[in-house]
Homo-oligomer: A and B are copies of this chain.
Amino acid sequence: MSDKNAPIGVFDSGIGGLTVVREIMRQIPNEKIVYFGDTARVPYGNKSRETVTRFSRQIVRFLQTHGVKTIVVACNTASAYALDELEKEIDIPIIGVVKPGAKAAAQATRNGKLGVIATEATIGSRIYNQYIQELNPNVTIWGKACPLFVPLVEEGLLQDPVTDEIAKRYLSELIDSDIDTLILGCTHYPLIRSAIGRIMGEQVTLVNPAYETAMELKAMLTKRELLNTDAPGLGSNQYQFYVSDTTDKFIRFANSIIKYGILSAKHVNIEEY
């Protein structure tokens, strides 16, 4: 039986998962978090199921050395490829970002026409289709891989004509399909939400799985009586950040996403786990 006071483990291929951390901090501010970003091996979205699963398994082993009470896979690609395997291998609850996003989208659509934008890996896995159609078999889903969005975000081109041009190309077939709901199926995409929203038009609901995942996490912890009801004391090291590459660039980027000042992060040689 895990301890309520134990931290929540969260991981991502790099920095995108911090958009999930931000939501967890907002929705359940008493929780401690241990975050791992695989910055030495990022990105995952154009790599194979085997590789992403092997990497994810190492990270889960690392997080377990911190005595986490649950793990959040804050990466759509790792959720798509590795979550089922990981679930079988560990005895603490583990949740991904795909199922909460799929559920919210299935509830949001009015005309039964849904779009998903994500990495090549997530789209190729058809996992959003699978979850959504389990909830509602009458929904039609269009998936579109947007491989340039991550590098454009990481280059900081959040408001830029080049990003708009690339987004127009990726999104045109979704517009033609008359969808009324679009899942931002990669943790980087909420950072260009305004460009995507402008192109899709205001009649299209954008679903951010980061927000839904934090809600699902809170509900799961409450149900299992694992929610931390005590505010952490001063100096309790509430948020800890680990990365597989060096820490300097991560700290800069993290501070642009999370308003809580991230003063430090630690390097981990993840291949040893």
Contact = CB atoms under 8 A, between A and B. Distances in A.
B148 A155 contact: yes
Contacts of A271: 271
Interface string A142-171: 000001100110110000011001100000
A213 interface: no
A245 interface: yes
A39 interface: yes
A47 B54 CA distance: 21
Given A40-B41, A41-B40, A48 B245 contact: yes
Identical subunits present: 2
Interface range on chain A: under 10, 10 to 19, 20 to 34, or 35 or more?
20 to 34
B166 A48 contact: no
Nearest to A50: B246
A244 B51 contact: yes
A152 B155 CA distance: 13
Contacts of A55: 40
Contacts of A151: 147-148, 151
A246 B148 contact: no
A54 B271 CA distance: 11
- Minimum-distance CB pairs A-B, first 9: A48-B246, A151-B151, A271-B271, A40-B51, A41-B41, A51-B245, A47-B245, A48-B245, A148-B155
Interface of A: 39-41, 46-48, 50-51, 54-55, 147-148, 151-152, 154-155, 161-162, 165-166, 244-246, 249, 269, 271
